[in-house]
Structure 1
């Protein structure tokens, strides 16, 4: 990647005219994760970027190198790693403009944007331009673009060298919101050694590390009482005085977090017990609690949930279930309460058909995704994908103006998400 400093006015113009991305993480959080991500430490492109200039630059005279470094230092006034981060950010933003043009945004690109980008390219020598083009295609830039994507769910490509840790966080409305944490294999190996940890072991290790209040949720985990394994079951021994049995809403919240945390695990059910080993009787139910199944698939549709900090997540609407995928997708247009917001704009209508390969949503009028805010368009697509996935089906969208969006090939059936609301452990 070239180290030639950009003119301040050119840089400011490019940034001001770049596509508006929506990301709720802080800049410090993103930078720290990139620098600490074990998957990137052996990446040759990253090492090349943070070490000395390339071999051809090293052959220049020492005085020229010192002069360039001095000039760069005066212009930037920041540590070298922040300079690298700035160049990466610029590369991604410029790359995003090119990508958006390829997926049908050419009509929105302004003459000023094109002129500025052309000027930057003309300022580079052929060798520098080739180097920059190569950098745009490099795995490290692709990784940065992936991490800054508007996608919020986890997919198979995200867990090639990682494992998934699921947990239900308690929202301000006494409802569980499912989270899917992606943890690199290296970290799991460091934490547990060569032996594969159980879901309960992962919960006991990672749940206490989540700052729920900072995320706008209730300080809920780890659970009060004792969790233990019993054959293929999980047993939760509740203390005599607990906050889970205060009202019907708190009972539903408690069971919802259990479901979001331990479903899709090796456990078939959860037994809720008193300290003496007898089944716990919730005051709102009036009878001993039967074992809670973790294997019966729950069929949900997905809405937008906003936490106390303003961050948005995709979540079932008070865990309402549906008999079939057509009903679930059609009813996503409804606004049922003041807590969850539909991902479907009021002026958008569609029909649903089921085929052998999956479920097909056909919009009545051509849907132009660029007419929506980018994050809203992505939430619409992913919420429908998650709804179809809860029925173990794939989704295809018909009558969309764009052929691709955020890496999704809209001409084909879309992949089934592994889980909603992608997160990374602190």
Structure 2
């Protein structure tokens, strides 16, 4: 979209993660593809590249023919080899042009581009044979081009949450990373392809603990600006629907109330939506662990699939921003949660709602409706901030298992969201991809 703005770090990250393109077609295949592409028939640069060698051959036809005949007699070389000595130059021009076209198509913005564009009349090259091989090449190229555009669109999106559309042939792995600042745990949602899970575990579905033990150690938390926190110290064991954490005598989870809060928050982010209903804390001898801040044996902590949070913007020490609950404050109603998220409560979590933006909240049968008091023009905001506003509200509504609709917005769509309807319910916050 034309409203997207990137700083240098974001642009560098996008370029580093851009798909690596390769093309193993022969020069003849590239030429056939170029000449058969209806989109290029009216292009002045291509026509100039095609006509220049042709006109040169016409004006010097007799001279070239005579020279080729003499050289063929003297050197016993076929005349046909002389006639195509300029072809490599033409092929180079053609190849460069094709690459330019593909690169340009990758940066097409399908949100703002007209959906119905006129295509040039293909009669210009109607005399060119369209054999089966050419059609197969074009079909293959169309698939490649569409895949490139789809991958580029996905990577260039300002969305940061995971949605059902992201989970085609993939599953999610949730984990709470320990903030490097005074923050508690920041929820992360990793997308892992099904084929990788099958390669790692076979056809049998792994448990949440097995997923954690396999993938948590592969995350470079410090490289992301977080504290090196995983895997947890001690032992994790499954006992039916209870996950037991056997804590070592000396650990960093029980140093102070803040460390205990961060530890419990991380466990909730990692295992709330899992196979377990609760987490028990034990000593090595099987007795209940006693947190120093409590002064009595601990009780198991219940795991609720959807805690009733609202979401704020959290900035890590390296400058990366995430959407996260504000110190795990919970709410009884979605109206209360959405209304409260306008307020700036501390210096760690910042509201995703600009100070001058006010709204009312109404719960309906199909979801929750946020109506802005003054028509909201997202184009007047920074594109990242506008997307954070929408997704923070969506995540807040989703924590109550509700969809969100935004009313009184100038735009009908934003970052692929149809703002005239209820928005999709996010699967999780802060989309990540498991490193290879």
Query: TM-score, normalization: structure 1?
Result: 0.78
Q: C-alpha distance in 2, partners of 1:329/1:54?
A: 60
Matches within 5 A, 1:6-405: 19-21=4-6, 23=10, 26-27=13-14, 29-31=16-18, 34-35=19-20, 49=23, 51-52=25-26, 55=29, 57-58=31-32, 66-68=88-90, 70=92, 90-93=104-107, 95-96=108-109, 99-100=111-112, 138-172=146-180, 173-295=182-304, 297-405=306-414
1:143–1:67 CA distance, 2 compared to 1 (3 A): same
CA RMSD of aligned residues (A): 3.4
Q: C-alpha distance in 1, partners of 2:315/2:431?
A: 15
Q: C-alpha distance in 2, partners of 1:424/1:160?
A: 14
Q: C-alpha distance in 2, partners of 1:352/1:54?
A: 62
Per-residue CA deviations over 1:36-63 (Å, capped at 9, x if unaligned) read: xxxxxxxxxx78x554468462599975
Q: Which runs of 5+ in 2 are unaligned?
A: 36-82, 126-137
Q: C-alpha distance in 2, partners of 1:175/1:145?
A: 33
1:251–1:57 CA distance, 2 compared to 1 (3 A): same
Per-residue CA deviations over 1:156-206 (Å, capped at 9, x if unaligned) read: 000121000000000021410000000111111111111111111111111
Q: C-alpha distance in 2, partners of 1:421/1:99?
A: 23
Per-residue CA deviations over 1:71-98 (Å, capped at 9, x if unaligned) read: 689x89xxxxxx96x86554232x12x5
Q: C-alpha distance in 1, partners of 2:3/2:27?
A: 28
> Contact between 2:394 and 2:426, CA under 8 Å: does it hold in 1?
yes
> Contact between 1:215 and 1:308, CA under 8 Å: does it hold in 2?
no
1:351–1:65 CA distance, 2 compared to 1 (3 A): farther
Q: Which runs of 5+ in 1 are unaligned?
A: 1-16, 36-45, 77-82, 104-120
> Contact between 2:308 and 2:331, CA under 8 Å: does it hold in 1?
yes
Per-residue CA deviations over 1:96-138 (Å, capped at 9, x if unaligned) read: 2x523669xxxxxxxxxxxxxxxxx99xx988xxx9x968982
Q: C-alpha distance in 1, partners of 2:352/2:332?
A: 21
1:27–1:138 CA distance, 2 compared to 1 (3 A): closer
Q: How many residues align?
A: 369
Q: C-alpha distance in 2, partners of 1:384/1:102?
A: 30
Per-residue CA deviations over 1:19-50 (Å, capped at 9, x if unaligned) read: 4346476246413xx35xxxxxxxxxx78x55
Q: Secondary structure, in 3 states, of the residue corresponding to 1:333?
A: coil
Q: Which residue of 1 aligns with 2:56?
A: none
